[in-house]
Amino acid sequence: MALSPRPRPALVALVALVAPLGTLVASQRRMCHLRHPLSWGGPGPGVMAVTNGGPWGQWGHSEFCPTGSFAIGVQLKVQHYQGFFSDDTGLNGVRLLCDTGTDTVTSSVGPSGSWQQETLCDPGERLVSFRLMVEPARGVWDDAAAANMAVLCSGDVVLRPGSELARGPWGALSARCDAPCGVCGLRTRLEPEHPWDATGLNDVRLYCCAP
């Protein structure tokens, strides 16, 4: 597994200054209240977040399904295990599949890995919550940050698209988006590609929208 030549506290502090966790909502969609808001308040109204996201990189733009539509499935971009002496980046992108049948939504996407098979909720259902598998910081050893993502459908079925890079624990589910609302968009945090210990995608936000 590749060694990391650098500590990151300064980089994390810089990212916190230039990339606040506030919502960049470039959409006319109306946000919904969440069933169980996080105890620390969450990053904004109608924004679903997890508490175990990775600390590196910058937040991309928020992107949304067309007005009146919702996400009914997900597709992940994953870099599989690269070997002990190579750099692993794990999860590199998330794509939401909208119920229009033709529209998809992504935010920041890393260059490594490949898009996996689409995973869909049962007919008539939509996405309402999610969780991340994230590897905690490992010091001088290779960091991968987010390695996998699971989503919850409105029928209480969990979709876990899967990844060969099973590094780190699963965190808790985010707050839940209840009917008639549903997940309609996302925003991702990505560390830019560089030659030493890149981590790919670090964190995800999902948006809960009204019809």
Confidence band (pLDDT; 50, 70, 90) for 150?
very high
Residue 17, both tokens = 């200054």
Mean pLDDT over residues 103-115, rounded?
87
Closest CA to 79 of 2, 144, 153, 176: 144
CA–CA gap between residue 17 and residue 7 (Å, rounded): 18
> Do the Cβ atoms of 109 and 92 come closer than 8 Å?
yes
**pLDDT at residue 191, as a whole number:** 82
Beta-strand relationship, 119-120 and 71-78: antiparallel
Q: What is the mean pLDDT of residues 37-62?
A: 80
Given a cut of 50, whether residue 139 has pLDDT beyond it is: no
Cβ(78)–Cβ(163) below 8 Å:
yes
Instruction: Give the residue-averaged pLDDT of 75-102.
Output: 78
Distances (CA, A) of 56 to 16, 94, 106, 128, 147: 9, 17, 19, 26, 14
Tokens 């940050």 correspond to 145
Report DSSP state, residue 84: T
The yes-or-no verdict on residue 83 having pLDDT over 60 is: no
User: What is the helix (H) or strand (E) element at residue 15, kind and residue range?
Assistant: helix 9-18
Task: Count CB-CB contacts under 10 A for residue 189.
Answer: 24
**Contact partners, residue 156, CB within 8 Å, separation at least 6:** none
CA atoms within 13 A on the CB side of 103: 16
The pLDDT mean for the chain works out to 77
